[in-house]
Structure 1
Amino acid sequence: MKVLVLGAGQLAKMLYLAAAPLGVEVFAVDVTDNSVLNPVSRQVHEFDLAFAIEEAKAITVEFEHIPEPLLELVEASGKLMPNMLSIMAGADRVREKYLLAQNGIANCQHLIIDNVDQLEGITDILGDKIIFKSSRDGYDGYGQWRMRSASDLGSLHDTFDKLDLRKVPLIAEKMSLFDREISVVGARDAKGNICCFQIAENLHYEGQLHVSIAPATKLTKTIIFQANDIFKRIANALEYVGVLAIELFQVGDELLVNEIAPRVHNSGHWTQDGVGTCQFEQHIRAVLGFGLGSTKTPYVNAMVNVIGCTSFSRDLIALDGCHLHWYGKTLREKRKMGHINVVADNYAQLGDKLIALLEHLPEESFPLLAGEAKRLQAFSQT
């Protein structure tokens, strides 16, 4: 049984590794030239894309920014999961906002900007603290501009005047004074069965995810219900098949959707070592019609991204409950090189383990880790 993944990065690699024990073979497509390759060895196969599409039982994606002609080709095979509608909703913030509006799902107050003249009077609507986001191809903080006061509007007007906003509009969002960022990652199969993992608490630095804690601390029944209800409503509206991630802002007892990601997600990497069925295996199960696996979580977990850094001691893998997942990429600033999962019996113990982990890491490359470790050390479950 074969699964074809559009995209050939680390997520395709992790899908391959999770699928192998199930007797499932994963091929990946380099979307820059449509070559088909092994996502682990990087060896290019002799057969072409048309043959790979024919041979695959299911076709899926590892990221949402897939060229539309390729998506249309694969959609025509009837094997694409999630469907093209779902992938495009994740790739285009305008489509995403329409999806949320159509389903009555709360998100940040915003305007869609396709002409710079719309900037006039924008502070009367959204206030003087606004984040502008490119509707396409923006991720990890790229394609975003922050207006911290009305005095920034002039320079932003000049910047946006050089862009083709008709082709790629901007989303102007009122900066939300949220309490924290959380995410819910789960799966839906073709029969409509849904199974969500524990909610993760996410810490970002300069637009990139640095640390996730799962289950998130201080979760109330209200927040848990809202997060899972939002997941179900979006997944069902899209007739979604596979793993879906939804990033949320928590504002008091209310959740606002920040983004949706129609794929396995960075904030779900902790499941590789913290759950019997990780998000990657769950995705394979969903797209192939296997039964969804258990998401029971016996530990508290931390996922620490390794970003733009290779200078750390591999001795960290000797630490109890510590697991390194390395991507094998060429070093580049702000590039995700790998991640480290840490499991513990409780939050205080997890904090202790993160402090021990820091002894093997350059602290300047992990600016949030010490503070989060100390917070967890002081945390007591009530």
Structure 2
Amino acid sequence: MTLSGKRILLIVGGGIAGYKALELIRVLRKRGASVRCILTKAAQEFVTPLSAASLSGDKAYTDLFSLTDEAEMGHIELSRDADLLVVAPATADLMAKMAHGFASDLASTALLATDKAVLIAPAMNVRMWEHPATKRNLAVLREDGVSVVGPDEGEMACGEFGFGRMAQPDAIADAAAALLSGGAASPAKPLAGCRALVTSGPTHEPIDPVRYIANRSSGKQGHAIARALAELGAEVTLVSGPVALADPPGVAVVKVETAAEMLAAVEARMPVDAAVFCAAVADWRVARAGDEKLKKTPGGPPSLGLVENPDILATIAKRTSGRPVLVVGFAAETEKVIEHAKAKLARKGCDWIVANDVSTPAGGTGVMGGDRNTVSIVTRDGVETWPILDKTAVAQRLAQRIAEQLKDRQWV
């Protein structure tokens, strides 16, 4: 997604994630944007103005009261000369200042003085991210039209795990490009009014009260997609099999166990505008699950008669009425990835297949349940292969693609 000719004012907040701002400058410039930087006082503890200036090819600004800077490029001009303001990392402190209109330093003053779009990439400790004050500030910023990318889930510098890691530079650049594309009436919420449904995780098909058939799906990709769609303004329902993940914020979650329960939950929520079937549904179930725990016997293992589970993707894609405008399926493959994905696209009747390579090590990202994904978008028009990305970045790219596909649609 190009940023050719665009002017971006990058505001770097204080925090260990500040080191990613340097890579973000590289990514933005590689995509054709010119970048000018403002560093807060706290940011300078992690990133030097010289580093930012060297990578951006322009002066890095730090001081609100520099008479030289005010004569050459005042804080008003700094904010208005740009096409987009990007705050990365957006700390809890910076978000609070933005939400309440503070203008106590160059960064907050430029943000208050701008009449251009603003994109923030939050980064902070998970407890700070989950604090009610931060949630209130985030709600105010969204209401003011500020766009948000991330934060990602993962291990933090402090040793804790959860949401609070700054989004990857590629994901931030994608979000910036989408905002500047001019395709949506409301750049911050291109999916506002859209109803979306996402399935996620595995299904558990009981053998007896203590055993079941399942797979290695963690639900990380499906949950990330639900979150990304919600961040673009969609009203999202997530139908999830058993996972060890927190519910994505701003998403209605329906929890199920089996494929039959998942299909029933999906059909109960039709119609929707977009449906993304990311769940790794078990292909088979035991024809007759035991009422009691099956015991070992001298005669050897019991014979488990298997029957096919309902095909949720095909059922929805082939609906004669109330079919979603866009139906997206997933195909986890270990070999002949594109060939199998094309066959699945034709067989299921969906619009896109997101083919992910779970082979090891031949170009794939390993066993299901990892933190990264190698995907190709397969449609009737062709194949688009993405580089290896973390699952949050995959989700954000996919959500943006869905928003572009559904542009100018009338919502159900």
> Which TM-score applies when normalising by structure 2?
0.30
* Structure with max Cα Rg: 2
Return the TM-score normalized by structure 1.
Answer: 0.31
